[in-house]
Amino acid sequence: MENRIRSMGANQGNGPSPARFAMRWILFPLLVAITVGSAPAISLPPGPITASTSFIAPNSFFSTTLSDVPPGFDIANGVYAGWCGDDEDAPVFDPAPVTPYSTYAANLPANAQSAAWPKVNYVLNNKSGTAEEVQTAIWILLNGSTNRDITPNVTAMVNAANANPSFVPSGTQVLAVLLYIDGFAQLGGPVQDTIIELPVCSTTGPTGCMTLTKASNAGMVPAGSAVTYTYTVLNGGAVTLTNIVVKDDNATPGYAADDFTVGTVASLAPGMSATLTSTRIPPVILCAAPGTLPSGPLATLITEKLANGDVKVTFRQSTAVNDNTYGTQVAPDWGRSHSFGDLTGRRTSFSRTQAGR
């Protein structure tokens, strides 16, 4: 069976180019899950594994890296979306020996048996607003209160979760897995017990549960700098998957010309994961200099290093703000054919430098 995964990047707007630009960009690692199944029953290792956290995670409160996970279970060594499962004032112990539990399991530790777990699962599958707002809603559901700001998004998520007290994730949804810290703390204790998101899997479906996690080696770097991305493919199902092709849209979902293939995993057994890496120069959003119009993100520079060592730079701007179409595709309001130089002047050049060079 052939399987294809596309790693989706953050949506970046394009626009016209004023006389001056300020360059900026931010990395947005994204978890992409392809799942088949409808039951929350999952297979988890019975003994402690190791969990560590990183707060470079725009799509969750933090990211959790699992290690020392034996093969053959529905979780594997790799990176997962992470959330606090305890009071917000409790510190995160990092790294920590943890025992994973399904939040629907009958054998949850006594002090972790909460009627709010179905509501927490509802929130994780019906998020609204920022990661901090989602986390605040989880704190309210588990602890009854919070010191954080209660925004309209938080209120809406909590009210919707309270209206669905028997929610059970299914299909392409995610299941909250509790990472219980043995010997260090209980829920409500001095050290944080945390939650990860695990896609719900079918144990009999043709593709099982396959997830792709994309992480970077830096949270933010100067424009034009290279970044190494790590892609972890996990087969959480019950059948071996073959010919898994991992593609990345280079954080420009509306522009296919810069898409690239990260690599191919020839075969991936149930419960196993494979890691691929790629070093790229992420796209750079160009913004208007302060005091100029129009303001905000205006255009995107896309840099590609070609196989022969050359560097290709593509400048993309939107015709919605300034239509610079020329030649046979001239815009009707110009009234005549025109050249690129009509917009930029007869002499135009683009240059790009990297800090320290």
Per-residue pLDDT tens digits for 286-318: 877 777 666 666 788 898 888 888 888 888 876
Structure-model confidence comparison of residues 137 and 357, the more confident one: 137
Bin 296: left if φ > 0, else alpha if -120 < ψ < 50, else beta.
left
Q: Please say if the pLDDT value at position 163 is more than 80.
A: yes
Asked whether the beta carbons of 178 and 103 are under 8 A apart, the reply is yes
Distance of CA 72 to the CA centre of its chain: 25
The predicted-structure confidence for 113-126, as pLDDT tens digits, reads as follows 877 999 999 999 99
What's the alpha-carbon Rg for the chain, to the nearest Å? 24
Q: Both tokens of residue 206? A: 């043709």
Contact 275, 232 (CB under 8 A): yes
Q: Are strands 62-67 and 21-24 parallel, antiparallel or unpaired?
A: unpaired
Beta pairing class for 273-280 and 31-35: unpaired
Average pLDDT rounded to a whole number, residues 41-57: 82
**Tens digits of residue pLDDT in 265-287:** 999 887 788 999 999 999 988 87
To the question of pTM greater than 0.85 for the whole model, the response is no
Mean pLDDT confidence for 171-187? 71
The pLDDT of 202-215, averaged and rounded, is 62
**Which stretches does DSSP call E strand in the chain?**
2-7, 21-24, 31-35, 49-54, 62-67, 78-84, 96-102, 174-181, 194-199, 209-216, 227-235, 241-248, 260-268, 273-280, 284-288, 297-305, 311-317
Q: What pLDDT, in 10s, does the model give residues 67-101? A: 999 987 888 888 888 998 876 656 666 788 899 99
Q: How confident is the model at residue 7 (pLDDT cuts 50, 70, 90)?
A: very low
In this structure, the number of other CB atoms found within 10 A of the CB of residue 41 comes to 14
Higher pLDDT, 237 or 27: 237
Q: How many angstroms separate the most distant Cα atoms in the chain? A: 78
- CA distances to 22, 286, 306 from 227, rounded to whole Å, are 20, 19, 16
The confidence score (pLDDT) of residue 55 equals 77
